[in-house]
């Protein structure tokens, strides 16, 4: 299964650029998760739900790695 994760830090920010990138990858809309919440930690409900849903061989796209979080070590440990 292929998924896309789109995150902006606040409701005022626009996620369109990230959504366009996911659409260009032909990710089904139902598999694109959009979250409007800070990346300071991983206590984001939609992100947590997505990570639990991922299975071996699933593919997760993000436009820019910092959309997952601010700390790359934490991103790596959270995804493994």
Can you read off the two tokens belonging to residue 45? 């409900």
Strand ranges (E), 1-80: 2-8, 32-36, 59-61
Q: Which helix (H) or strand (E) holds 51?
A: helix 45-53
Residues marked as catalytic:
9
The length of the chain, given as a count of residues: 80
């Amino acid at each position: 299964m292929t998924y896309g994760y789109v995150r902006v830090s606040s409701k005022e920010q626009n996620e369109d650029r990230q959504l366009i990138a996911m659409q260009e990858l032909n990710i089904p809309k139902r598999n694109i998760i959009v979250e409007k919440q800070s990346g300071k930690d991983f206590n984001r409900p939609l992100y947590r739900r997505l990570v639990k849903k991922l299975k071996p061989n699933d593919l997760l796209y993000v436009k820019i790695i910092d959309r997952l979080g601010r700390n790359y070590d934490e991103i790596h440990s959270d995804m493994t």
